[in-house]
Structure 1
Amino acid sequence: METAINIALAGNPNAGKTTLFNYLTGARQHVGNYPGITVEHKQGCCLHKQQGLSIVDLPGTYSLSAYSSEELVARNYIIDSRPEVLIDVVDASNLERNLYLTSQFLELGTPLVIALNMIDVAENRGMEINAEKLSTALGVPVVPIIARSGKGVDQLLDTVIATARAEQPPQPTILRYGSDIDQALNEMIPLIRDRDLLTGSYPDRWVGVKLLENDEQVLAQVREREPELSLRLEQRCQEVTDHLQQTTGVYPEAVIADHRYGYIKSIMRRNIVTKKFVGDRLYTSDRIDKVVTHRLLGPVIMAGVLLGLYAFTFSSSTFLVSLLESFFGMLSTTVDTFLDDGPLKSMLISGVIDGVGGVLGFVPIIMFMFFGIAVLEDSGYLARVAFMMDRIFHSFGLHGSSVMPFIVSGGIAGGCAVPGVMATRTLRSPKERMATLLTVPFMNCGAKLPVLTLLIGAFFADHQARYMFLATLVAWVVALCAAKFLRMTVLRGESTPFVMELPPYRIPTINGLMIHTWERTWQYIKKAGTVILGISILLWAMMTYPGLPQEEVAAFQEQRQAISQDLQRNGGNDRQTALEALSARENSAALRHSLAGRIGIALEGISQLAGIEWRTNIALVGGFAAKEVIVSTLGTAYSLGDVDPDASDSLTQRLANDPAWNPVVALAVLLFIMFYAPCFVTVVCIARETSWKWALFSMSFNTLFAFMMAVGVYQLGMLLKLG
Structure 2
Amino acid sequence: MNNSIALLGQPNSGKSTVFNALTGSRQHVGNWPGKTVEKNDGFYNYKGIRYTVTDLPGSYGLSGNSDEEVITADFIKAGQADLVCILVDASQLERSMYMVAEFAAMDKPAVLLLNMMDVAKAQNKEINHALLEKRLGIPVLPFTAAESRGYEELKALLAAELEHPHRLASVPGLPEEGESSAKTSADTVQAESEAKYCWIGSVLEGVTSSEQSHYKLSKRDRRLLSPILGKIVCFGTIVAGFLVAMIICFPLMGLGSMIPQLLNKPIADLLNGWHVHPWLVSIFSIILPNTLYFCVAMSGFVFGVNLVFGYLEEIGFLARAAYQFDSLLAGLGLQGKAICPILMGFGCTIGGTCGTRVMDNWGQRMLTMAVVWAVPCASIWTIIPVISSMFFTPWQTVLIILGILLYVVVLMTVVSKVFGRTLVPDNARSGMIMELPPYHKPHWKHIAKEALLKAWDIFKRALRTVTLISLLFWVFSYSGTGNVDNSLLYKVGTTIEPVTRIFGLGWRTFMGFISSAFAKEAVLGVLNAAFVGNGTVLDATFRSAFNVTTDNAVLGQAMTDVVSKAEALAFMCACTFNIPCVMALSTTYRESHSLKWTARIAAFYVCGALLLSCIVYHIAALF
- TM range, normalised to the smaller chain? 0.7 to 0.9
CA distance in 2, matches of 1:66, 1:489: 21
Deviations 1:129-163 (A, max 9, x none): 11111111111111111222245443333322221
Query: Which residue of 2 is the match for residue 336 of structure 1?
Result: 268
CA distance in 2, matches of 1:486, 1:262: 44
Q: Assess if the C-alpha contact under 8 Å between 1:88 and 1:112 holds in 2.
A: yes
How far did 1:128 drift?
Answer: 1.3
CA distance in 1, matches of 2:507, 2:534: 20
Secondary structure of the 2:578 match is helix
1:617 equivalenced with 2:480 (yes/no): no
Q: Assess if the C-alpha contact under 8 Å between 1:129 and 1:274 holds in 2.
A: yes
CA spacing shift, 1:638–1:32, aligned 2, 3 Å: farther
Structure 2 residue identity aligned to 1:364: G
Q: Assess if the C-alpha contact under 8 Å between 2:27 and 2:40 holds in 1.
A: yes
Query: Which residue of 2 is the match for residue 673 of structure 1?
Result: 578
How far did 1:36 drift?
Answer: 2.8
How far did 1:256 drift?
Answer: 1.0
Secondary structure of the 2:178 match is helix
* Alignment partner of 1:442 out of 371, 374, 378: 371
How far did 1:272 drift?
Answer: 1.2
CA spacing shift, 1:354–1:402, aligned 2, 3 Å: closer
1:531 equivalenced with 2:527 (yes/no): no
Q: Assess if the C-alpha contact under 8 Å between 2:29 and 2:41 holds in 1.
A: yes
Q: Assess if the C-alpha contact under 8 Å between 2:305 and 2:351 holds in 1.
A: no
Question: How many matched pairs?
Answer: 585
Q: Map of 1:74-89 to 2, 5 A cutoff? A: 74-80=72-78, 82-89=80-87
Secondary structure of the 1:101 match is helix
CA distance in 1, matches of 2:106, 2:179: 12
Q: Map of 1:171-570 to 2, 5 A cutoff? A: 173-177=169-173, 205-209=176-180, 212=181, 234=182, 237=183, 241=185, 250-269=186-205, 271-275=206-210, 277=211, 279-282=213-216, 287-338=219-270, 339=272, 340=275, 342-354=278-290, 357-358=293-294, 360-394=296-330, 396=331, 398=333, 400=335, 403=338, 413-414=349-350, 440-444=369-373, 452=377, 454-456=379-381, 477-478=409-410, 480-482=412-414, 496-544=430-478
Q: Assess if the C-alpha contact under 8 Å between 2:37 and 2:362 holds in 1.
A: no
Query: Which residue of 2 is the match for residue 589 of structure 1?
Result: 485
Deviations 1:551-590 (A, max 9, x none): xxxxxxxxxxxxxxxxxxxxxxxxxxxxxxxx66xx1211
* Alignment partner of 1:22 out of 20, 23, 46: 20
CA distance in 2, matches of 1:148, 1:107: 30
CA distance in 1, matches of 2:33, 2:313: 27
* Alignment partner of 1:108 out of 106, 109, 120: 106
Secondary structure of the 1:110 match is coil
CA spacing shift, 1:513–1:460, aligned 2, 3 Å: farther
Secondary structure of the 1:498 match is coil
Q: Assess if the C-alpha contact under 8 Å between 1:371 and 1:513 holds in 2.
A: yes
Q: Assess if the C-alpha contact under 8 Å between 2:505 and 2:570 holds in 1.
A: no
Query: Which residue of 2 is the match for residue 129 of structure 1?
Result: 127
CA distance in 2, matches of 1:408, 1:303: 8
Secondary structure of the 2:126 match is strand
Secondary structure of the 2:350 match is coil
Deviations 1:651-680 (A, max 9, x none): 454564355579989964552235799959
CA spacing shift, 1:20–1:680, aligned 2, 3 Å: closer
Query: Which residue of 2 is the match for residue 91 of structure 1?
Result: 89
1:657 equivalenced with 2:551 (yes/no): yes
Query: Which residue of 2 is the match for residue 466 of structure 1?
Result: none
How far did 1:328 drift?
Answer: 0.6
Structure 2 residue identity aligned to 1:93: S
Query: Which residue of 1 is the match for residue 533 of structure 2?
Result: 642
CA spacing shift, 1:94–1:600, aligned 2, 3 Å: farther
Query: Which residue of 1 is the match for residue 391 of structure 2?
Result: none
CA spacing shift, 1:629–1:379, aligned 2, 3 Å: same
CA distance in 2, matches of 1:589, 1:18: 53
Query: Which residue of 1 is the match for residue 115 of structure 2?
Result: 117
CA distance in 2, matches of 1:664, 1:87: 58
CA spacing shift, 1:273–1:350, aligned 2, 3 Å: closer
Structure 2 residue identity aligned to 1:131: H
Deviations 1:602-659 (A, max 9, x none): 5652455699713213335xx4xxxx56778998997899223589945454564355
Q: What is the identity percentage for the equivalent residue pairs of Structure 1 and Structure 2?
A: 23
How far did 1:51 drift?
Answer: 4.8
Structure 2 residue identity aligned to 1:135: E
Q: Assess if the C-alpha contact under 8 Å between 1:32 and 1:40 holds in 2.
A: yes
Structure 2 residue identity aligned to 1:588: V
How far did 1:37 drift?
Answer: 2.1
Q: Assess if the C-alpha contact under 8 Å between 1:355 and 1:634 holds in 2.
A: no
CA spacing shift, 1:80–1:38, aligned 2, 3 Å: same
CA spacing shift, 1:327–1:593, aligned 2, 3 Å: closer
Q: Assess if the C-alpha contact under 8 Å between 1:360 and 1:528 holds in 2.
A: no
After superposing the two structures, state which structure 1 stretch, 342-351 or 598-607, moved more: 598-607
CA distance in 2, matches of 1:266, 1:318: 55
How far did 1:279 drift?
Answer: 4.8
CA distance in 1, matches of 2:44, 2:487: 54
Q: Assess if the C-alpha contact under 8 Å between 2:367 and 2:420 holds in 1.
A: no
How far did 1:90 drift?
Answer: 1.2
Secondary structure of the 2:39 match is strand
TM-score (norm 2): 0.76
Query: Which residue of 1 is the match for residue 564 of structure 2?
Result: none
How far did 1:373 drift?
Answer: 2.9
After superposing the two structures, state which structure 1 stretch, 678-687 or 91-100, moved more: 678-687
Give the RMSD, CA atoms, in angstroms.
5.0
How far did 1:439 drift?
Answer: 6.7
TM-score (norm 1): 0.67
How far did 1:408 drift?
Answer: 12
CA distance in 1, matches of 2:231, 2:622: 35
Deviations 1:23-53 (A, max 9, x none): 3334443433323322223333344455543
Deviations 1:250-274 (A, max 9, x none): 44222211111111112222x1112
Secondary structure of the 1:499 match is coil
**Larger Rg belongs to:** 1
CA distance in 2, matches of 1:533, 1:709: 30
CA distance in 1, matches of 2:593, 2:122: 48
CA distance in 2, matches of 1:426, 1:488: 12
After superposing the two structures, state which structure 1 stretch, 325-334 or 668-677, moved more: 668-677
Q: Assess if the C-alpha contact under 8 Å between 1:401 and 1:426 holds in 2.
A: no
CA distance in 1, matches of 2:15, 2:27: 15
CA distance in 2, matches of 1:359, 1:49: 37
Q: Assess if the C-alpha contact under 8 Å between 1:355 and 1:631 holds in 2.
A: no
CA distance in 2, matches of 1:255, 1:139: 24
Secondary structure of the 1:414 match is helix
CA spacing shift, 1:156–1:58, aligned 2, 3 Å: same
Q: Assess if the C-alpha contact under 8 Å between 1:114 and 1:143 holds in 2.
A: yes
